[in-house]
Amino acid sequence: MNKNLISEAKRCLQCKNPGCIKGCPINTSIKEMISMFLNGDIQDAGEMLFNNNPLSLVCSLVCPHEKQCEGSCVLGIKGESVPISSIENYISDYYLNFIKSNAVIDKNKKVAIIGSGPAGITIAFILSSMGYDITVFEAHDKLGGVMRYGIPEFRLPKAILDRIKDKMKEMSIKIRFNTLIGPVLTIDDLFRDGYKAIFIGTGVWKPNTLRIKGESLGNVHYAIDYLKNPDVYDLGNSLTIIGAGNVAMDTARTALRHGVRNVYIMYRSGYEDITADKHEIKYAEIDGVKFELYKSPIEITDEGVIYVKTERVIQENGEIRLDSIPGTENLFPSDSVIISVSQGPRDIIVSSTTGIKIDNKGLVSTDGSGRTTRKGVFASGDVVTGAKTVVAAVKVSKEVAKAIDKYVSNEV
């Protein structure tokens, strides 16, 4: 065991009113976790973490901790916060070897889960431990959804997702890979075959476009597609990424690790308006990513990005407006361009069924417990909220699992 981790854990003040717990979106019992860790009750600590968050191991690596638990640690006001994420990671990694369920599976309580991202895995674990007969339908050939295909290996090792898959199988959760619900099998087919409830957690895989000339050229790609399998892309020596969110930072850092010498982030506004988490920006800068600010793309060519310079204008009401500066059009040379301006849901499922309402962005409409407008069909995660964090999906999906249990219990 890392001696430094023990000494760091001992710095915890065991606050009566822990800010770290309030800062955690799913109220992880951090105070108790650290106490159990120091007392050698690591399996009990792991069980507590897993029961509260089946993806505790993943969240310990990918959550924006500086905004949440660690950012709310009282020791961080004048010094360094307790490294809560590192302690959680150690415990959760250890406990993953011991996760098991003694629940007896009831074949009359079949639930279909479409998508194996954070929301789907969370609900699968919870309902399986309650004796539900779970089948997960995954369109890809591997488990994890956005965690596998949207988060780089250097942030989330894929071996963790493989271990989670093995644990799911040990808990009698069936997984059908390479199965896209909609074109062949439909929601109606699933109900026909005895599923009492259906959960949709398909995420958001349709990249948003800029709607500018040149997006169809051969040197242009979309970030969500690139991150799925960066090995197949030849981006040349220089890459310009349009957009400045967390996905853009992941894309930039991944490209550098795959041999691109010069990687630039082009953003229409200033540093203070970048939507990516501050620590992600810092990591990108450390890795060598360069920022081209106050440049708004107007066209993409074989030679790079044509942009216009922008400026911030303070209006009479105090609000800030971003204006293009006439006559400042210029070419920013680049071998390749990747567009990273968020993404939305595909309509494969809703277009092949009836009764599921979507909003004007194509996101599935639900109530506070994940019920869609079609009886027996539930949804949560990015397909409902748009692209969010893993822990945000877990938080809502815990409530959705309760709603599914209540619904099926009344149906069986």
The CA angle 181-184-188, to the nearest 5 degrees, is 65
Averaged pLDDT for residues 47-52: 97
Other Cβ atoms closer than 10 A to 85: 19
CB atoms within 10 A of CB 385: 16
| Structure confidence by residue, pLDDT tens digits, 318-343 | 788 899 999 999 999 999 999 999 88
With a cut of 70, say whether residue 171 has pLDDT above it. Answer: yes
* Burial label, 45 (beta-carbon count in 10 A; 0-12, 13-18, 19+): buried
Residues 82 and 53 placed together within one structural domain of the fold: yes
Give the CATH number for residue 125. Answer: 3.50.50.60
pLDDT in tens, 9-18: 999 999 999 9
Same-domain status, 221 and 337? yes
Residue at which a domain ends, from 74, 95, 116 = 95
pLDDT of residue 393: 94
What secondary structure does DSSP assign to 71-86, as a single string? GG-GGGTTSPPP-HHH
241 and 324 co-located in one domain: yes
C-alpha pair distances (Å), 383 with each of 188, 197, 209, 386: 20, 18, 18, 6
Q: For the chain, what percent of residues have pLDDT higher than 70?
A: 98
Q: Identify the pLDDT of residue 404.
A: 97
pLDDT band, very low/low/confident/very high, at 412 (cuts 50, 70, 90)? low
The two structure tokens encoding residue 142: 């591997």
Residue 145 lies in a domain: yes
Structure confidence by residue, pLDDT tens digits, 222-256: 999 999 999 999 999 999 999 999 999 999 999 99
What is the rounded average pLDDT for all residues in the chain?
A: 94
| Beta-bridge partner residues of 297 | 307
Range of the domain at 24: 3-95
Mean pLDDT, to the nearest integer, of 186-210? 93
Q: How confident is the model at residue 1 (pLDDT cuts 50, 70, 90)?
A: low
Same domain, 299 and 381: no
Closest CA to 345 of 354, 358, 333: 358
The total number of structural domains that make up the chain: 3
Query: Which of 289, 314, 342 delimits the end of a domain?
Result: 342
The Cα 32–Cα 50 span in angstroms is 14
Of 138-152, 294-308, 341-355, 363-377, where does mean pLDDT reach its minimum? 341-355
Higher pLDDT pick, 320 / 24: 24
Distance in angstroms between the alpha carbons of the first and the last residue of the chain: 48
* Residue 168 confidence (pLDDT) above 70: yes
Alpha carbon distance 29, 15 (integer Å): 12
User: Tell me: the pLDDT tens digits for 355-386?
Assistant: 899 888 888 999 989 999 999 999 999 899 88
Can you tell me the distance from the alpha carbon of 264 to that of 79, in angstroms, rounded to the nearest whole number?
Answer: 34
Q: Are residues 248 and 170 in the same domain?
A: no
User: What is the reported pLDDT for 184?
Assistant: 85
**Sheet strands (E) in 115-219:** 132-137, 174-176, 197-200, 206-207
Residue 101 lies in a domain: no
Clarify whether residues 12 and 87 are in a common domain: yes
pLDDT confidence band for 402 (50 / 70 / 90): very high
pLDDT score of 3: 60
Q: Considering 95, 124, 158, which residue would you say is the last residue of a domain?
A: 95
How confident is the model over 293-311, as a mean pLDDT? Answer: 97
41: Cα within 13 Å, side-chain hemisphere? 11
